[in-house]
Amino acid sequence: MSQARTLELVFPEHANPGGNAFGGFVLGLMDKVGSYAAIRHARKRCVTVRVGEVVFEVPIKVGDLLEVEARVVRVGRTSLTVEVEVYRENLREPKLLATKGNLTYVAVDEHGRPTPVDG
């Protein structure tokens, strides 16, 4: 199954006044990298149709380096389910799983209509 990954540093503009990353910022990263894995697998444009349960395991702070890993775990006729994990690391602590979740994408044609996934 297809995979994608990226690294992202958490800057002050990604966080609340307490220094914790906004959940929406983390979800946006998860969706971006999840879509890369879906597109890589389907070889077609894919759109997000569902964000399943997302679990925030540990806080993510300004200055943390995030490693976002996504992998396709299920392929339907037009849909793909992608499991996404976000690992946090910094200078004081070892790399830890910070957030995880499942997102569903649908492959679409040039008119935005669902189209079969070949792979």
- Sequential pLDDT tens for the chain (119 residues): 799 999 999 999 999 999 999 999 999 999 999 999 999 999 999 999 999 999 999 999 999 999 999 999 999 999 999 999 999 999 898 999 999 999 999 999 999 999 999 86
The CATH number of residue 86's host domain is 3.10.129.10
pTM, entire model: 0.94
Domain count, the chain: 1
On whether residue 8 sits in a domain, the answer given is: yes
Contacts of 91 (CB under 8 A, 6+ apart): none
On whether residue 112 sits in a domain, the answer given is: no
Burial of 34 (0-12, 13-18, 19+ CB in 10 A): buried
Q: How far, in Å, are 10, 11, 23, 64 from residue 90 at the CA level?
A: 11, 13, 19, 5
On whether residue 61 sits in a domain, the answer given is: yes
On whether residue 93 sits in a domain, the answer given is: yes
